[in-house]
Amino acid sequence: MPEFVTLETATARIHDGCTLALGGMTVYRRPAGFVRVLLRRQPRPRDLTLLCFTAGIESDWLVGAGCVRAVRSVYFGLESFGFAPMFTQAAQRGDIQIIEETEQSLAMGIRAQMAGVGFMPSRAWLGTDLPRLRPDVKTIQDPYNGETLMAFPAIHCDVAVLHGLAADKAGNVLVNNNLGVDLELVYISDWIIVTVEQIVDRLERTTDGFLIPAPGISQIVHLPNGAHPTSCYPLYPVAGSIFLSYIDACNDDSFEGWLASHDQ
């Protein structure tokens, strides 16, 4: 049975140097409320490795606040709103390490961790320059036919944070069908925190969403509007005006001021 805890209790699990995974997709169902409260901590967490299938505005806050040492993600940006400004600045200055990933490499690393093995073989990246950027990705010989394959190392995660539509009192969580790699993060992470829009007596399986069973979750936090300013379909849409004000503030070197004025 997961614990039902306060947001402050949940954010205390994020320690310096850990690998932190954030669920959701681009500007949809991101754990933005969790990140806002995490950034209130003094001192803020440091040297995080940020793991995302796609990293969005909440990830950009962490980079801008100086919390992130390394990023491994297929994409880092604000979708139709353009570049993620603080990540773009940090990457151009060389302030953060970028662990190059593609959809295939991330999938293979996650599958290896789920299978409890050190790597997962694939034909991905063969004949490209990507292995030069990732010396930890080796080549191996298929023992059955001698074919050369890439061996993608397992990806381990300390803490994953997801956002869901609802949780029931038994600890099951409902997410919508835009899953990204949320379900896989449950399998590869040591600790799984889920913020949810509401708590209900009982959840039933539905074609409009997917249930994460209680045994896969460590802590649940009741956090209405916890994905804002990203969307949480079907409850609320993307808050485009907030994205635009954020980009303008970052371009004016007013990141911390914007963060303080939107700390709600």
Q: Give residue limits of the domains in the chain.
A: 3-105+155-261, 119-153
Kindly report, residue by residue over 22-48, the tens digit of the pLDDT: 999 999 999 999 999 999 999 999 999
Residue by residue, DSSP assigns 226-254 as TTTTSBBTTTB---HHHHHHHHHHHHTT-
- What's CA 131's distance to the chain center, in Å? 24
3-class secondary-structure state, position 139:
strand
Contact 29, 175 (CB under 8 A): yes
Does residue 64 carry a pLDDT above 90?
yes
CATH class of the 3-105+155-261 domain in this structure:
alpha beta
Q: What is the mean pLDDT of residues 103-127?
A: 97
Does residue 207 carry a pLDDT above 80?
no
Place of tokens 């890439």: 150
Q: What is the pLDDT of residue 205?
A: 76
Cα–Cα distances (Å) from 16 to 13, 253, 259, in that order, read: 10, 26, 21
| Average pLDDT value for the chain | 96
Q: What is the pLDDT of residue 175?
A: 95
Cα–Cα distances (Å) from 262 to 60, 109, 196, 199, 255, in that order, read: 14, 36, 20, 25, 11
State phi, psi for 97 to the nearest 5 degrees. -85, 130
Using CB atoms within 10 A of its CB, is residue 114 exposed (0-12), middle (13-18) or buried (19+)?
Answer: middle
Q: How far apart are CA 109 and CA 9, in angstroms?
A: 30
Q: How far apart are CA 29 and CA 175, in angstroms?
A: 9
Contact 252, 244 (CB under 8 A): no
For the chain, helix (H) and strand (E) counts, in that order, are 9, 13
Kindly report which listed range (92-96, 174-178, 218-222) carries the lowest average pLDDT score.
Answer: 174-178
Beta strand segments in the chain, E: 3-4, 19-22, 48-55, 68-76, 97-100, 119-122, 138-141, 148-153, 157-168, 173-175, 189-200, 210-212, 219-222
Does residue 264 carry a pLDDT above 70?
no
Q: What is the pLDDT of residue 62?
A: 98
The pairing of strands 173-175 and 210-212 is antiparallel
Residue 193 tokens, joined: 């925190």
Q: How far apart are CA 167 and CA 175, in angstroms?
A: 9
Q: How far apart are CA 34 and CA 261, in angstroms?
A: 16
Q: How far apart are CA 218 and CA 83, in angstroms?
A: 33
